[in-house]
A and B are shown apart, each in its own frame.
Chain A
Amino acid sequence: MVFKNIICPVCGGSCDDVQVNLDTKNRTIDVQNACKMGNAKFQEVVSSHRILKPTIRENGKVKDVSWEEALEMSADILVNARRPLFFLGSETSCEAQEVGLHIAEYLGAPADSNATICHGPTVMGIQESGMVGATAGQAKNRADMIVYWGVNALESMPRHMSKYGVFPRGYWTKRGRFDRTMVTVDPRVTPTAVASDMHLQLNPSSDYELLSAMFTILNGKEPHPSVEEITGIPISVMKQTVEMMKESNFVAIYVGLGVSSSYGKHRNIEIALNFVKEMNNYTKCNIGALRGHCNVAGFNQLASYLYGYPFGLDFMKGYPRYNPGETTTVDLLREKDVDAAFIMSADLVNHIPADCAKYLADIPMICLDIAPCPSTTAADVVLPGVIDAMECDGTFYRLDNVPVYFEPFTESPFSETKSNEDTLKQLFAKIKAKKEA
């Protein structure tokens, strides 16, 4: 059967035009419009390596168990731990994340999500200086200058350039690519850089100095000459870039992990945001983050409106607190300040530094995921995941923080659960029963 307008649950692009032809008899799936990355995930619906049975590790051996047993054991681990960490990954719906947050609040535990190891500093930067943003459609219709700063869009959000950023023909950008100037700022000659009109190949971790110098130029002053050596970019080129921005009708800047992960982190974002604010005295200018995982923006939105903070929440004292560097996953694990972990829809072990991964493998860990990965290998309990946007409905937030409701084209392969939200609700009920007993 053919299904149209399916939402892709892979990266922050949340492309909403995917066409799927699912042959349930031969177990094949044909996917149109999605990129390589998206297509790969759609194949999971019929893949042979999908995790279909809950497992637990007993005396070092992994064995299959029933859902009931796996949930029971998960609840035991979480109730008996004094400070379990909840890592509510982004590759699932806001609805599932919401239940996870409520469990964390109930147990007085820390709760975090992918932003902490990804665009956390971006969110912190926004908190420091506010943001001039725009939806993807605005940029598509109006932007005649695109800046990819520290992001390799072609590879991390493959359809960004073709769907929102550079190529699409918009109302005021009728000739598509020809109506836009594309600039990439990246220390590496990435495919995105190759596709650009101009590439500023700055030295690694000198984003702050470059932004600060461009800001100084914008304010009509001459930056200190040492900045040329620090950034590897001549002041004349910085001036030219600022002039180009001022002369454009609408500048859309997309920042990636290159800005928020290199040192400077939230300060890089903060000065970029302030620069954009000031640039609006000359022309329309906005900024947005290219989010790698599909619903990573969703957790930030959800946690902010439910509990006031975007990530790295700690419910230890019964009310939410937040302090990146103290209540965030990598720090909690490095400092061994948690004693169990619940990891949902994110391969945490794969993405954190060795010391943290090692500690995570040491403590009791529950992992909810769809395919074998380092986290499921290291886990003590593995709960099979349901694939959002394919097997159940729910909500994602797109990279520009627009909520997107998605509907499934097939159903959960498990009779025991309809969705990750459902699994978490069952787990919560068990936790409550144990706690209140």
Chain B
Amino acid sequence: MADVILKPIGNFDLTVEAEVVTPDNFAGKTADEIGKVLVWQGPAEYPLTDFFTVEGNGGSSAEDTTIIVDGEIPRVKRIGQQMTAGKVIIKGSAGMHVGSAMEGGEIIVEGDADSWVGMEMKGGSILIKGNTKDHLGCAYRGSWKGMTGGRITVEGDAVSQVGGGLSGGEIIINGNVKHFCGIRISSGLIVVKGNAFRTVGAEMTGGTIVVGGNIERFTPGFELVDIESDLKFNDIECPGEYNKFTGDYAIPQKGKGTLYVSCDNNECL
């Protein structure tokens, strides 16, 4: 395993787009060559060394390249976009679009991540240790198909539109979510261990959503079908009793998804 260490040195007055920072791109390059890779800031391109110091060479292939970003980069976007293998570790917070359209490999963000993490992700895994914002694992604007494979885990909270259009893969949120979690999903699994504010599973036509906490405003188009306890989806366990609903009947499409809502935390349902 070869480690490439990027240490942020500043100049982030405007945000930077660094979709080139992937193990695929860094493999087979020396530290010097990596430093010369161009990233966008505003309408111009600048070498990576304008923003980071680079230490260590890339591995022989993407699989054995690990990129370690040693610092906070909330204003750097698109790290790990479309990566297929290898590993990216961000030791602080990351900007938008981390692991967008990722196909394989692993990303770990130790701080917070901005919106659009793992948009339309196809495979691999992303772990966010802090919080994230909107559109986690979601479909691109206007598209009805979001993430199709892989797994995203968020240890903190996410905000809105988690897993929009999910059609495969798994999303696990240990904290809370706000609006439209699992909107229009057709397959796959979303587990929210904390609370959700409203419109969970709106327009879903398939797939499964589990909410372990409280839903403040329940989505109207769901029908109670059963009570189940101690759910298990492969290695993901959800202990306790759950009301099982199907829906969303607010849309005419044939297929319906399954929504499990904790009994203990939602007595009014």
Contact = CB atoms under 8 A, between A and B. Distances in A.
A226 interface: yes
B10 interface: no
A403 interface: no
Contacts of A335: 15, 75
B219 interface: yes
B122 interface: no
Nearest to A230: B217
Given A264-B179, A267-B180, A267-B202, A82 B223 contact: no
Given A108-B43, A209-B217, A223-B220, A128 B202 contact: no
B141 A216 contact: no
Nearest to A278: B252
Interface string A270-292: 01001000100000000000000
A29 interface: no
Contacts of A274: 251
A322 interface: yes
B250 interface: yes
Contacts of A264: 179-180, 199
A213 B221 contact: yes
Given A215-B221, A322-B141, A325-B134, A267 B250 contact: no
B236 interface: no
Contacts of B17: 316
Interface string A199-236: 00000001011011101100101011011001000000
Contacts of B218: 224, 226-227, 230
Instruction: Give chain B's interface residue range (CB within 8 Å of chain A).
Output: 35 or more
Given A208-B199, A216-B249, A316-B42, A82 B14 contact: yes
Contact of B203 (A82, A224, A271, A318): A271
Given A127-B141, A215-B251, A274-B251, A223 B221 contact: yes
A323 B43 CA distance: 17
A323 B141 CA distance: 8
A128 B252 contact: no
A326 B203 contact: no
Interface in B229-269: 248-252, 268-269
Contacts of B217: 206, 209, 226, 230
A212 B220 contact: yes
Contacts of B219: 209, 212, 224
B51 interface: no
Interface string B173-211: 000000110010000000000000011001100000000
Interface in A313-344: 315-318, 322-326, 335-339
A83 interface: yes
Interface string A259-271: 0000110010001
B42 A83 contact: yes
Nearest to B134: A325
Contacts of A101: none
Contacts of A51: none
B225 interface: no
A108 to B, nearest CB: 3
Contact of A325 (B43, B44, B115, B248): B115
B26 interface: no
B78 to A, nearest CB: 11
Contacts of A209: 198-199, 217, 219-220
26 contacts: A82-B14, A82-B41, A83-B14, A108-B42, A212-B202, A212-B250, A213-B220, A213-B250, A215-B221, A215-B251, A221-B223, A224-B223, A226-B220, A226-B268, A227-B218, A271-B202, A278-B252, A315-B43, A316-B43, A317-B43, A323-B116, A324-B141, A325-B135, A336-B13, A337-B15, A339-B14
Give the 6 A-B residue pairs with the shortest CB-CB distance, closest first: A108-B43, A223-B220, A213-B220, A83-B42, A227-B220, A215-B250
Given A107-B43, A226-B268, 17 more contacts: A82-B42, A83-B42, A108-B43, A109-B43, A208-B198, A209-B199, A212-B220, A213-B221, A215-B221, A215-B251, A216-B221, A223-B221, A230-B198, A271-B203, A271-B250, A316-B40, A335-B75
